[in-house]
Amino acid sequence: MMSTELFTWPGYDDTDPGHRTLQGFLVMDVQYAPERAEEILADIQAYRNGEKEDFDGSGNGYEFECLPEGFFIDSLYEGDELTPVTVDYQTVETALSEWGRYCRAKVN
């Protein structure tokens, strides 16, 4: 099992609730599937480029939605003090890209 606590990306800030929520989203919902990280990244980019009118979904722990102001994440479970939160797209794209690389490196 990989140690998820050690995973960060360039610009990660442990004091930022959005960053901490995004880290949980990667672990619980994207999981260790680099292909899934790449799919979500491509769909976010398609939304931002106007190729998709909307993009949203849910996983094991969170639901998400692309909004004009950023990537909205909310916990599926009550009591999560960090959510709901909106994270800027640059941070989300960097995290997804790095997560995909991280997972591929662990598999090989």
**Angle 75-79-82 from CA coordinates, rounded to 5°:** 60
Q: What is the pLDDT of residue 2?
A: 42
Write down the domain spans for the chain.
Answer: 16-77
> Of residues 64 and 105, which shows the higher confidence score?
64
The dihedral built from the CA positions of residue 61, 53, 87 and 5, taken in this order, carries a sign that is positive
Record the pTM: 0.91
pLDDT at 1 over 80: no
3-state DSSP helix/strand/coil % of the chain, to nearest 5: 45, 15, 35
Query: Mean pLDDT, to the nearest integer, of 84-97?
Result: 97
Query: Mean pLDDT, to the nearest integer, of 71-92?
Result: 96
Q: What is the pLDDT of residue 5?
A: 54
The 3-state DSSP class for residue 17 equals helix
What pairing do the DSSP bridges indicate for beta strands 70-75 and 62-67? antiparallel
Confidence band for 31, pLDDT divided at 50, 70 and 90: very high
pLDDT at 4 over 70: no
